[in-house]
């Protein structure tokens, strides 16, 4: 069994940023394990631009954004193994992976989970109807087009207004497909406003809110979908059915942190984020196992993924050096109107940034962090949508050493 | 083209495949004609995958006789043909006095049928067997089990093929003609096959083929059942199938563990006339969840990974009463034709005894010389995911393709996918690879691996993207290249 100071699982934006930052903090013995043939993660297939505005102050394509970190990692000679799939992590921080040379086992002082997320499938939605070919998740369609030079279809309907779905609406239009419409079950879009403008409106693709697909038709290849309006409880309204003929259905209906390995290690997961429960050091409930990026909670921008992983590196470096991290016994709960709160546990001694999302679109709102009946922090905003992550800064000294926190909309 | 055979089997479901294998024990030219692009695309692959005990059928019926016999031999068969099977038992759960009376009748019937290992158990034992179940008592059938219906049928067909049977896919039979010399000429869109014997193992198409043979008058209805598949996380809560108290014609909505750790919920039973529509409506999914939750209250939408449906061909009389299997040779109307009608549940369990019976009927009329090189043993694809770490390491060192994991959810490797693509039956659909390896069957439903599988199909077969099919004829996966 080989020993490592830190093993980073996943060579996407989170894993790369953490590796670079750990090395800059003087951690030498790092290994990144990546299941794909090259580093970069999902960014490799995101050839559109818009990445990096926050992190680099300029707009980059996905591969360009990834390249910045890969170049840095290579310049710093950070070891990595590609085509290596981690099969198992044990609570004592043993990592087992498969590659063409055999089964590899490492024992790590610290593990960083950076596995990213995956897409919700048609089966998970339980869309009624037949099961023809031609139903793809947006990311799968994106991989076919951008990575494999393969066209999924010609006449397209999109379910869900997630960012990847909207980006694929534009991408498929540019490649000659006819994108008929995007249907969203919620009364508001789930993707970023800029994507609604740049990917749908600019190309004349209609977005129908409060609509969903109630039947998939076709025994061999997809022939069409039946779309219905939904009521306030997201139930289809009888009599509103309308059929759209199409050979391709793209699903952009949500991302789920990919925590199979975390579950195998016995980590506690958060019901809402579907990621590990972490403290302000991004440490999970197994000491020395850290998580950041989309495996922890799904982000709206890759810039935040990188920045979160860089923050994590600080704490992980201290841990590897054997310094005690401040114990985190204060629990943070999401109150009314708020969800996806990270981190879930705080020390109360240090400044910390909480991230969360509003449950529904809001204007001129205020988020309040309450502890022991007093306001520990307040965050006012002009507008907020569930698609965008909110960050609440809590100053050092603003918290008491004891007493759980609740974040809610005022 | 008129290809000459001794026996033509129409249908490559589990019955047709089992008959092909039984006939390959003899020195005969056997061909199987299948309208789909793979084996078991219809009823055989769309069911609960339960190996039945044989207690739920009328005493004296063929269903009872074959099922009991099949249940006894399933372990040996699984060893011989290398398909997954587990004798995990099952429980039929009841709550009322009426339920108890029915379960006692079921046991008496089962015993009369020759089924062993049936007993009534109380709450305590029931909850020891299946802690997560709801119910006061149950009938426990020790010998019931679960299997993989795809791999069972694939194993039968591959072994038949290995022993000389020929399989032809994408061959929809459109007509059967008997000439003056009593040879049959079976018409498909591409060619005519000629043979001394014809076997109707067409499943849902049994009435059409029977009519083509001149054996008319059968009434066959379709009983469609829908299912929900739950995530592997739920497998731990269900060590054996849990059924309600049955009648002799409908088992009721049950929950079934699969050999891979998933759980299936279903089926409802809806009489249908369209035998090719497999859509699952919302109302039926709601019904399944509601019914099965009374037995096993762990069915949540978040754990749903897929749904599917299957249709059972049921032979009914003029009153609509479901009949036993009909397996006949009508020497008067269609000599040298074996006609199988209404082969529904427990057809998956009973396939091999049914096939043996068919061959027996044929041998009553004609002596067959043995195939002296018949080899009953078939080896399946070695799975990476099922092995211990030491075995996995050894597999990779033997063949490095075992070290490349293509399907992240089910941990299916490149080595397995290559073996599936180059399968002995020469089938090249995406689902052929899926059913043989479990890639695309996991939690993400192919989100991660389908592009890799599609790419491997193109490369290994040297076919353009637009020629790759998902499952049925016409089920194209991709429109082609984005640009040349």
Considering only CB atoms, which chain A residues are within 8 Å of B282? Answer: 126, 128, 214
Distance from the Cα of B415 to chain A's closest Cα (Å) equals 11
| Residues A128, B280: C-beta atoms closer than 8 Å | yes
Q: Which residues contact A20 (CB under 8 A, 6 or more apart)?
A: A69, A72, A73, A76, A78, A310
SS3 category, A75:
helix
| Residues A133, B306: C-beta atoms closer than 8 Å | no
Cβ burial, residue A328 (10 Å; 0-12/13-18/19+): buried
Q: How far is CA A43 from the centre of its chain?
A: 12
Residue B96: C-alpha distances to residues B100, B104, B274, B380 (Å): 6, 12, 38, 46
> Which site among A116, A123, A142 would you substitute to test the B interface, given the most B Cβ atoms closer than 10 Å to its Cβ?
A123
Question: What string of DSSP letters covers B309-369?
Answer: EEEEEEEB-TT-PBP--EEEE-TTTSTTEEEEE---TTHHHHHHHHHHHHHHHHHTTS---
Helix (H) or strand (E) holding B78: helix B62-81
A15: tokens are 């894993």
Q: Which residues contact A139 (CB under 8 A, 6 or more apart)?
A: A42, A45, A118, A119, A164, B447
Beta A94-99 vs A85-89: how paired, if at all? antiparallel
Question: Between vectors from CA A163 to CA A158 and to CA A164, what angle results, nearest 5°?
Answer: 65
| Residues A85, B228: C-beta atoms closer than 8 Å | no
Terminal Cα distance for chain A, rounded: 54
B367: tokens are 């002596």
Question: Per-residue pLDDT averaged across B415-431, rounded?
Answer: 97
| Residues A85, B405: C-beta atoms closer than 8 Å | yes
Q: What is the residue-level pLDDT of chain A in tens, covering all 410 positions? A: 899 999 999 999 999 999 999 999 999 999 999 999 999 999 999 999 999 999 999 999 999 999 999 999 999 999 999 999 999 999 999 999 999 999 999 999 999 999 999 999 988 888 999 999 999 999 999 999 999 999 999 999 999 999 999 999 999 999 999 999 999 999 999 888 999 999 999 999 999 999 999 999 999 999 999 999 999 999 999 999 999 999 999 999 999 999 999 999 999 999 999 999 999 999 999 999 999 999 999 999 999 999 999 999 989 999 999 998 999 999 999 999 999 999 999 999 999 999 999 999 999 999 999 999 999 999 999 999 888 899 999 998 899 999 999 999 98
Distance from the Cα of B396 to chain A's closest Cα (Å) equals 5
Beta A178-184 vs A155-159: how paired, if at all? parallel
Task: Return the DSSP state at A230.
Answer: B
Distance from the Cα of B273 to chain A's closest Cα (Å) equals 16
| Residues B392, A220: C-beta atoms closer than 8 Å | no
Considering only CB atoms, which chain B residues are within 8 Å of A130? Answer: 277-279
Considering only CB atoms, which chain A residues are within 8 Å of B389? Answer: 96, 103, 105
What is the reported pLDDT for B262?
95
For A331-367, how does the pLDDT look when each residue is reduced to its tens digit (9 = 90+)? 999 999 999 999 999 999 999 999 999 999 999 999 9
| Residues B479, A132: C-beta atoms closer than 8 Å | no
User: Sign of dihedral through CA atoms A160, A166, A168, A169?
Assistant: positive
A151 part of contact set with chain B, CB < 8 Å: yes
Considering only CB atoms, which chain A residues are within 8 Å of B229? Answer: 123
Cβ burial, residue B252 (10 Å; 0-12/13-18/19+): middle
- Pick from A98, A130, A131: which is nearest to B403 by CB? A98
Nearest CA in chain A to B390: A103
Determine whether domain B87-146+221-315 maps to CATH 3.40.50.280. no
- Pick from B308, B384, B475: which is nearest to A221 by CB? B475
What is the reported pLDDT for B144?
98
Cβ burial, residue B167 (10 Å; 0-12/13-18/19+): buried
What is the reported pLDDT for B97?
96
Q: Which of A379, A340, A66, A382 lies closest to A193 in space, CA to CA?
A: A382
| Residues B447, A139: C-beta atoms closer than 8 Å | yes
List, in sequence order, every residue forming a beta bridge with A406; answer none if it has no partner.
Answer: A333, A370
CA separation for the pair B435, B292 (Å, rounded): 26
Helices B149-162 & B347-363 angle (0-180, nearest 10): 30
- Pick from B278, B401, B444: which is nearest to A131 by CB? B278
User: Is residue B1 predicted with pLDDT exceeding 90?
Assistant: no
CA separation for the pair B286, B266 (Å, rounded): 11
Location of structure tokens 């050839």: A47
SS3 category, A352:
strand
For B332-364, how does the pLDDT look when each residue is reduced to its tens digit (9 = 90+)? 999 999 999 999 999 999 999 999 999 999 999
CA separation for the pair B400, A102 (Å, rounded): 7
- Number of neighbouring beta carbons within 10 Å of residue A54: 12
Q: Which of A90, A149, A113, A95 lies closest to A12 in space, CA to CA?
A: A113
Task: Return the DSSP state at A269.
Answer: B
Q: How far is CA B482 from the centre of its chain?
A: 38
The band of B2, judged by pLDDT with boundaries at 50, 70 and 90, is low
Q: How many CA atoms lie within 13 A of B127 on its CB side?
A: 6
| Residues A216, B451: C-beta atoms closer than 8 Å | no
CA separation for the pair B85, B104 (Å, rounded): 28
pTM summary value? 0.95
Terminal Cα distance for chain B, rounded: 38
Helices B450-461 & B430-437 angle (0-180, nearest 10): 110
The band of B202, judged by pLDDT with boundaries at 50, 70 and 90, is very high
Contact B118, B140 (CB under 8 A): yes
| Residues A118, B444: C-beta atoms closer than 8 Å | yes
Distance from the Cα of A199 to chain B's closest Cα (Å) equals 19
List, in sequence order, every residue forming a beta bridge with B99; answer none if it has no partner.
Answer: none
Task: Return the DSSP state at A323.
Answer: P
Q: Which residues contact A34 (CB under 8 A, 6 or more apart)?
A: A10, A11, A15, A80, A81, A82, A83, A84
Considering only CB atoms, which chain B residues are within 8 Å of A128? Answer: 279-282, 285
User: Is residue B83 predicted with pLDDT exceeding 90?
Assistant: yes
Question: Per-residue pLDDT averaged across B6-29, rounded?
Answer: 98
Within 379-408 of A, beta carbons closer than 8 Å to B belong to none
What length does chain B have?
484
What is the reported pLDDT for A125?
86
What is the reported pLDDT for B251?
83
> Which site among B404, B416, B468 would you substitute to test the A interface, given the most A Cβ atoms closer than 10 Å to its Cβ?
B404
Q: Which of B10, B406, B9, B407 lies closest to B172 in space, CA to CA?
A: B10
Q: How far is CA A8 from the centre of its chain?
A: 17
Contact A274, A267 (CB under 8 A): no
Helix (H) or strand (E) holding B72: helix B62-81
What ipTM describes this predicted complex?
0.95
Contact B439, B453 (CB under 8 A): yes
What is the reported pLDDT for B247?
77
Of B52, B254, B336, B428, the catalytic one is B52
Question: Per-residue pLDDT averaged across B221-227, rounded?
Answer: 97
Determine whether domain B389-467 maps to CATH 3.20.20.70. no
- Pick from B276, B281, B478: which is nearest to A150 by CB? B478
B72: tokens are 């006894």
Question: Per-residue pLDDT averaged across B174-199, rounded?
Answer: 96
CA separation for the pair B439, B410 (Å, rounded): 6
CA separation for the pair B202, B209 (Å, rounded): 7
A171 part of contact set with chain B, CB < 8 Å: no
Considering only CB atoms, which chain A residues are within 8 Å of B228? Answer: 126
* Mean per-residue pLDDT over chain B, rounded: 96
Helix (H) or strand (E) holding B242: strand B242-244
Q: How far is CA A304 from the centre of its chain?
A: 10
CA separation for the pair A242, A265 (Å, rounded): 47
A127: tokens are 């869309």
- For chain B, the structural domain boundaries read 2-43+150-218+321-363, 87-146+221-315, 389-467
- Pick from A122, A133, A215: which is nearest to B475 by CB? A133
- Number of neighbouring beta carbons within 10 Å of residue A314: 14
| Residues B451, A175: C-beta atoms closer than 8 Å | no
Residue A256: C-alpha distances to residues A253, A278, B285 (Å): 10, 17, 24
Q: In the A/B pair of chains, how many CB contacts fall below 8 A? A: 146
Considering only CB atoms, which chain B residues are within 8 Å of A115? Answer: none
Alpha-helical regions (H) of A30-128? 62-75, 122-125
SS3 category, B391:
helix
Considering only CB atoms, which chain A residues are within 8 Å of B475? Answer: 132-133, 220-221
SS3 category, B56:
coil
What is the reported pLDDT for A311?
93
In degrees and rounded to multiples of 5, residue A243 shows phi and psi of: -100, 135
Considering only CB atoms, which chain B residues are within 8 Å of A123? Answer: 229, 304-307, 445
**Which strands, in side-by-side order, build the sheet including A211-217?**
A211-217, A224-229, A242-245
What topology is assigned to B2-43+150-218+321-363 in CATH? FAD/NAD(P)-binding domain (3.50.50)
Considering only CB atoms, which chain B residues are within 8 Å of A83? Answer: 404
| Residues B277, A130: C-beta atoms closer than 8 Å | yes
Q: Which of B218, B224, B344 lies closest to B273 in space, CA to CA?
A: B224
Within 92-131 of A, beta carbons closer than 8 Å to B belong to 96, 98-103, 105, 118-119, 121-124, 126, 128-131
Is residue B52 annotated as part of the catalytic site, yes or no?
yes
- Per-residue burial over B294-327, b if 16 or more Cβ lie within 10 Å, else e, is ebbebbeeebbbbbbbbbbbbbbeeeeebbebbb
A221 part of contact set with chain B, CB < 8 Å: yes
């Amino acid at each position: 069994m080989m020993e490592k100071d830190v093993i980073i699982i996943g060579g996407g934006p989170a894993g790369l940023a953490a590796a670079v930052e750990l090395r800059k903090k003087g951690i030498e013995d790092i290994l990144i394990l990546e299941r794909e043939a090259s580093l970069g993660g999902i960014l490799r297939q995101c050839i559109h631009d818009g990445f990096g505005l926050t992190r680099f102050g300029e707009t980059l394509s996905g591969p360009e954004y990834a390249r910045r970190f890969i170049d840095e990692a290579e310049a710093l000679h950070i070891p990595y193994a590609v085509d290596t799939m981690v099969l198992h992590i044990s609570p004592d921080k043993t990592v087992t992976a498969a590659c063409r040379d055999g089964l590899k086992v490492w024992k790590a002082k610290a593990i960083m989970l950076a596995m990213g997320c995956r897409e919700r499938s048609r089966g998970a939605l339980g869309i009624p109807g037949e099961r023809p070919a031609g139903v793809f998740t947006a990311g799968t369609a994106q991989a076919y087009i951008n990575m494999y030079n393969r066209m999924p279809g010609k006449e397209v309907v999109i379910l869900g207004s997630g960012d990847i779905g909207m980006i694929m609406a534009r991408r498929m239009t540019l490649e000659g497909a006819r994108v008929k419409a995007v249907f969203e079950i919620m009364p508001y879009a789930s993707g970023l406003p800029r994507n609604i403008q740049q990917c749908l409106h600019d190309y004349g693709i209609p977005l129908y809110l409060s609509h969903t697909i109630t039947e998939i038709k076709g025994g061999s290849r997809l022939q069409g979908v039946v779309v219905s309006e939904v009521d306030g409880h997201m139930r289809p309204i009888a009599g509103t059915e309308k059929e759209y003929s199409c050979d391709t259905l793209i699903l952009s209906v949500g991302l789920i942190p990919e925590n199979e390995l975390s579950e195998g290690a016995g980590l506690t997961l958060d019901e809402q984020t579907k990621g590990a429960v972490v403290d302000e050091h991004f440490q999970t409930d197994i000491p020395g196992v850290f998580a950041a990026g989309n495996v922890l909670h799904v982000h709206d921008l890759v810039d935040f993924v990188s920045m979160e992983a860089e923050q994590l590196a600080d704490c992980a470096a201290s841990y590897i050096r054997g310094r005690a991290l401040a114990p985190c016994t204060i629990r943070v709960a999401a109150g009314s109107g708020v969800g996806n709160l990270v981190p879930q546990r705080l020390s109360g001694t240090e400044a910390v940034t909480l991230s969360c999302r509003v449950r529904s679109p809001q204007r001129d709102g205020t988020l309040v962090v309450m502890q022991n009946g007093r306001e520990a922090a307040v965050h006012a905003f002009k507008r907020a949508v569930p698609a965008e992550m909110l960050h609440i800064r809590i100053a050092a000294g603003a918290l008491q050493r004891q007493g759980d926190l609740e974040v809610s909309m005022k | 083209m008129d290809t000459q055979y001794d026996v033509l089997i129409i249908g490559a479901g589990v019955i047709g495949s089992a008959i092909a294998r039984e006939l390959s024990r003899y020195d005969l030219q056997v061909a199987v004609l299948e309208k789909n692009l793979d084996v078991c695309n219809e009823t055989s692959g769309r069911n609960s995958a339960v190996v039945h005990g044989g207690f739920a059928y009328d005493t004296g019926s063929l269903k009872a006789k074959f099922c009991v016999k099949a249940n006894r031999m399933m372990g040996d068969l699984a060893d011989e043909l290398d398909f997954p099977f587990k004798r995990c038992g099952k429980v039929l759960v009841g709550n009322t006095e009426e339920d108890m009376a029915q379960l006692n009748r079921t046991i008496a019937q089962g015993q009369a049928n020759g089924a062993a290992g049936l007993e009534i158990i109380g709450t305590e034992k029931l909850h020891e067997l299946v802690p997560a179940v709801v119910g006061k008592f149950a009938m426990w059938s020790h010998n019931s089990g679960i299997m993989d219906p795809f791999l069972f049928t694939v194993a039968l067909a591959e072994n038949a093929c290995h022993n000389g049977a020929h399989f032809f896919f994408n061959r929809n039979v459109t007509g059967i003609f008997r000439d003056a010399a009593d040879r049959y000429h079976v018409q498909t869109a591409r060619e005519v096959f000629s043979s001394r014997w014809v076997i109707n193992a067409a499943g849902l198409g049994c009435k059409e083929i029977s009519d083509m043979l001149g054996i008319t008058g059968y009434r066959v209805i379709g009983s469609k059942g829908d299912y929900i598949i739950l995530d592997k996380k739920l497998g731990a809560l269900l060590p054996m199938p849990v059924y309600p108290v049955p009648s002799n014609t409908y088992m009721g909505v049950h929950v079934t563990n699969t050999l891979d750790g998933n759980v299936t919920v279903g089926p409802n039973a809806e009489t249908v006339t369209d035998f090719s529509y497999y859509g699952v409506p919302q109302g039926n999914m709601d019904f399944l969840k509601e019914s099965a939750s009374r037995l096993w209250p762990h069915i949540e939408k978040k754990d749903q990974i897929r749904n599917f449906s299957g249709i059972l061909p049921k032979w009914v009389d003029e009153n609509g009463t479901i009949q036993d299997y009909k397996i006949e040779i009508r020497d008067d109307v269609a000599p040298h034709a074996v006609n199988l009608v209404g082969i529904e549940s427990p057809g998956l369990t009973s396939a091999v005894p049914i096939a043996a019976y068919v061959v027996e009927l044929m041998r009553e009329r004609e002596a067959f010389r043995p195939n002296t090189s018949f080899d009953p043993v078939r080896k399946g694809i070695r799975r990476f995911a099922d092995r211990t770490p030491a075995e996995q390491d050894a597999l990779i060192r033997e063949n490095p393709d075992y070290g490349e994991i293509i399907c992240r959810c089910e941990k299916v490797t490149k080595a397995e996918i290559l073996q599936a693509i180059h399968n002995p039956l020469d089938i090249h659909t995406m689902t052929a690879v899926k059913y043989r390896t479990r890639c695309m069957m996991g939690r993400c439903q192919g989100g991660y691996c389908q592009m890799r599988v599609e790419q491997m199909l193109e490369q290994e077969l040297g076919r353009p993207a637009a020629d790759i099919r998902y499952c049925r004829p016409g089920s194209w996966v991709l429109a082609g290249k984005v640009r040349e």
